[in-house]
Each structure stands twice: as structure tokens, then as C-alpha cells.
Amino acid sequence: MSAPLAPLDASTPALVTGGGGFLGRAVVERLRERGVPVASFARGDYPELTALGVETLRGDLGDAAAVRRACVGRSVVFHVAARAGVWGPRREFWRVNVEGTRHVLEGCRAAGVGRLVYTSTPSVVFDGRDLCGVDESVPYASHYESAYPESKAIAERLVLDANGPDLATVSLRPHLIWGPGDPHFVPRITARARAGRLPIVGDGRNEVDMIYVDDAAEAHLRAAERLSPGSPVAGSAYFLSAGKPVRLWEMVNHLLAAADLPPLTRAVPARLALAAGFVLEALYRALPLRGEPLMTRFLARELATSHWFDISAARRDLDWKPKIRVDEGLRRLRASLQAPR
């Protein structure tokens, strides 16, 4: 049975951090479709959000005062913004993901915000080994090979520990968000494929979860509507996915086909990719080199292992289920990639 409903409407103004990003914008759009007044807090300027009637606030999560001001007058905050990636200065991941989340929590408390929906990642439980059908009882990883999942795990704990009678919190863990407008996953694989730098890592049979962006956004709204002190949702974390894993490298080839690119055929053993990641990380740190390594240990393990999750809890507590099938998502993606620019 799902938690009691506290509808989002014109009387409950919302704040979305990272409202100009891929998932953040999808959350903003769905809130506006429901007539909910929305403010977006982000570093960049997004005229398209203004056109939707969104109040756009420019600021950095590292600026506690700016975050606190953005929280004033909101009854719900969707904290979507984050520093993502497999490589980069550890201090920057901490500044944005950990300290930025502290600032959001402080802002919510100071402004009397009643609900906080936090966007996490399943990587907080990924320890480099296969994860097949696990639910939310699986513990956090005991070690991390990337600052991104480590910083997100710390931030998620901060959010869940903050849950209480004055501020109800929930953490959502969508896995591999994709769809039209994706600035991360699809562009990266298509760029690497065009450059001949995208081999299959491992035996190509590993299965992973993915989730279409519209389904992920809807889950955020469902979580907010069912979030109140003492509800099953409050203080909980939920995996989100399409509900059925796909073979990663088959899906990659489908995505490449949507961009009119040939399928991948070249493969490298997982151990070789892991070794290459270790060497490249050492080189990039020692020299140091700009940009990011072609391979890292974290990326090698992500590409070669299975990681998919039981979403029964999200279906039950959030009264949510994924709706966009892979074939429909691919049709939409292909149309967007081929649309005139």
C-alpha cells in the first residue's frame, strides 16, 4: 500500500536544484504541467525555463547563503543538482555533493521547508562486483574507486539522517537515466564510438538497469506527494529503474543505431580494462594531465559487471511504475537525434 497522498498544487511552491539539467528540467516540466509554481536554482542561465514560467535563481551549491535564500517560501525541495563523473578533483566532488547537500539541508531547516526529495545513485552500494536483483537492504559499499559515488553516499546519509518531524526526507536512486536531451550518457558513447575508442568491456553479457528520464521525473513527484513525517517514504531510499534489466552492450548498440552509427564488435577483457584504468589514473595524477582518462577502475568495473535492482519498494510506497518501454524510448531518442538543429 502506498503512503498517504499530499498533492502538489498551486499552493505548494517548489524549488528544484539543477533545474536546467537533464533530470532537473524533466522534474521542472512535470511540476509546471501540474500547475505547481517552480523555482530553479542553478549556476547557469536557462531562458527556456523562464519561458515555462519558472523562477530562475543563479547560484552555486557551495554558497550557503544563496542556497538558504533559494529555500525561502518553498514547501518542497527537489535536490537534483550534483557533480557527476568518473574523474575529477576529489575536493570538487566534496564541495558540490557533500557540502552542497549540507547547505540544502540547512536552507530547508532555516526556511521551514517540510519536504526534501534527494536524487542519489545506485553507485552508493556498488563495490565493483555484480549486483543482481538486490533491494534497499543491501549496505553501502565498503570502499569506492571514484570520488563521485563516495561523495553521493555521504550526501545520501546526511539526507536520510536529517529526516524528522519538521523535515521529511527521501532519497531516490535512478540508474542510468537516458532519453532525448541527455547531455551525458548518450553523447559520451556516441563520441567515443565515432573516435573508435569504445570497445566492449568484458564478455558483453552483463545486465544493467536503465530508466527513461520521464519515468525518473515522475517518481520524484510521486515521492514528494507521499512524503510526510512518519510515512513509510520518510527516511527511506528507493532504487528506480525500468523494472527489467537489459544487456548493457546490446543496449549500447541500440543507442548507437539511433544515432546512425555501426554496432560495436571489438572487445577487451575486463581485467585488461581494469589494469589500463589503474595505469591511466596513476599517469593523470602524476603528470598531471588535463581532461579525464579514457578508462578508470570504476568505469571498467561498471562496464563489465551486472548491476540491476529490485524496485518493488518504489512501486509499493510511491504508487509508481515505469511506463516507457525501451523500444518507445529508442524511437523518441532517434527522432530527437535526427531532428533539424
- Domains of the chain, start order: 14-181+209-241+309-324 (3.40.50.720)
Dist CA 119 CA 171 (whole Å):
6
> Amino acid letter at 260?
D
Spatial contact of 69 and 8, defined as CB atoms under 8 Å apart: no
Pairing of strands 131-134, 200-201: unpaired
One-letter-per-residue 3-state SS of the chain: CCCCCCCCCCCCCEEEECCCCHHHHHHHHHHHHCCCCEEEEECCCCHHHHHCCCEEEECCCCCHHHHHHHHCCCCEEEECCCCCCCCCCHHHHHHHHHHHHHHHHHHHHHHCCCEEEEECCHHHHCCCCCEEEECCCCCCCCCCCCHHHHHHHHHHHHHHHCCCCCCEEEEEEECCEECCCCCCHHHHHHHHHHCCCCCEECCCCCEECCEEHHHHHHHHHHHHHCCCCCCCCCCEEEEECCCCCEEHHHHHHHHHHHCCCCCCCCEECHHHHHHHHHHHHHHHHHCCCCCCCCCCHHHHHHHHCCEEECCHHHHHHHCCCCCCCHHHHHHHHHHHHHCCC
Per residue of the chain (341 residues), give pLDDT as tens. Answer: 566 677 887 888 999 999 999 999 999 999 999 999 999 999 998 999 999 999 999 999 999 999 999 999 999 999 999 999 999 999 999 999 999 999 999 999 999 999 999 999 999 999 999 999 999 999 999 999 999 999 999 999 999 999 999 999 999 999 999 999 999 899 999 999 999 999 999 999 999 999 999 999 999 999 999 999 999 999 999 999 999 999 999 999 999 999 999 999 999 999 999 999 999 999 999 998 999 999 999 999 999 999 999 999 999 999 999 999 999 999 999 999 988 76
Catalytic residue among 144, 148, 212, 238: 148
* Entry pTM: 0.96
- Is 140 one of the annotated active-site residues of the chain? no
Instruction: Please give the pLDDT value at position 1.
Output: 56
Dist CA 149 CA 170 (whole Å):
18
Spatial contact of 268 and 200, defined as CB atoms under 8 Å apart: yes
